[in-house]
Structure 1
Amino acid sequence: MFLIMCVYVITRVVLILKNKKMDWHREVSRLFLVLYLGVLIVVTLFPINIIIGEYEQRYREIVVNLNPMQFFGLLDADFSIIIRNLGGNFVMMIPFAILLPVNFRGMRQFGRVIMMVVATSIVIEILQYIWQLTMLNVWRATDINDVILNVCGGIIGYALYYYLFRRVPFMNRFII
């Protein structure tokens, strides 16, 4: 993530020096989007654990849940796991649904933002499945409930965007 931030900052500084003008509010919006995407990648896909040794020692059942009703089985788990899973997946897409319309004019419609949230969430789940298959990360699960919670968070995020950036005049400065 540090590398991503360094590349981003260097690129933006070069472009700003070349153009000789800059809008700080928009730069902050862009920076938050890049930071968010970096954190999203780190939280959902890393660490990648490469396990060397006998296959039996590194084997773990591949966990795929395509049944939304299996969500209720989670309620038997430890409370901290429930909060981390439900809260994390719900909150994960709130910033994304705010930052997309702020940074891209073509993403200001509710349907487009939600489609991007759905697509991003599905890509994350597919990558987690591939990680499981290739033994790059055996501590992840592919779960339809994660997608559902991400979309619910995306809806809340878009509602916050709509209220904050459309109704509060000061916040309009950050819209690109």
Structure 2
Amino acid sequence: MRTTLKTARRQPSKPFKGLAWVVFIGYSLFMIYLLFIGFSRSSRSDHRMYNVVPLKTIKGYIENYQYYNFDMWFINLFGNVAAFVPFGFLIPLLFPKVARWGQVLRLFFGLLFIVEALQVAFKVGSFDVDDIILNVLGGLIGFAIYKARARLQLKP
């Protein structure tokens, strides 16, 4: 009898899944803090900043790297990617119905669009489509790690 891919994949143990929930909730709270309170965020004036041109901010950081201190440059480019890698791994683990590339892409894009809009609404940040691009990239990298892990756990 042929074993299908669905039945061959091992399901995470209850303790592992419980730990994953703790990590997910803790990391979510940490990210909410960083996105809305951390980095010395405070309510700004009525002047709101936007970037709706894809790759404009990223290009600016790359072309003008010499004008930024390394920490700012690194956090804005690589930190925005790395910050969402854990979510890309944890979301399909905890929500098995979100286990396809298109679903993950839509989920991350939608949620991150809302985050950027809320930062502007609460005057604690700017709306930058490049942040969405980098954050989604991080989520997709995490999802690729999840998929690779799932492939390694297939029974022979």
TM-score if structure 2 supplies the norm length?
A: 0.77
Instruction: Give how far 1:70 is off.
Output: 2.1
Instruction: Give how far 1:88 is off.
Output: 1.6
Matching of residue 61 in structure 1 with residue 47 in structure 2:
yes
The equivalences for 1:7-46 within 5 A come to 23-46=14-37
Deviation track 1:21-77 (CA, whole Å, cap 9, x = no partner) reads x93112111111111211111111115635xxxxxxx63632111112422223424
* 1:128/1:141 contact within 8 Å kept: yes
2:132 is paired with a residue of what secondary structure? helix
1:145 is paired with a residue of what secondary structure? helix
Q: Per residue, is there more helix in 1 or in 2?
A: 1
1:105 is paired with a residue of what secondary structure? coil
Instruction: Give how far 1:154 is off.
Output: 1.6
In 2, distance between residues paired with 1:165 and 1:35?
Answer: 24
Label 1:69 to 1:111 Cα distance change in 2 as closer, same or farther (>3 A): closer
Matching of residue 49 in structure 1 with residue 42 in structure 2:
yes
Q: Tell me which residue corresponds to 1:161.
A: 146
TM-score if structure 1 supplies the norm length?
A: 0.69
In 2, distance between residues paired with 1:69 and 1:94?
Answer: 20
In 1, distance between residues paired with 2:133 and 2:102?
Answer: 16
Matching of residue 84 in structure 1 with residue 71 in structure 2:
no
Structure 1 segments unaligned to the other structure (5+ residues): 1-21, 51-57, 170-176
Moved runs in structure 1, 4+ residues, more than 4 A?
none
* 1:125/1:143 contact within 8 Å kept: yes
Structure 2: which amino acid aligns with 1:61?
H
- Report % sequence identity: 25
Q: Tell me which residue corresponds to 2:3.
A: none
In 2, distance between residues paired with 1:105 and 1:88?
Answer: 27
* 1:97/1:154 contact within 8 Å kept: yes
In 1, distance between residues paired with 2:113 and 2:95?
Answer: 21
Structure 2 segments unaligned to the other structure (5+ residues): 1-12
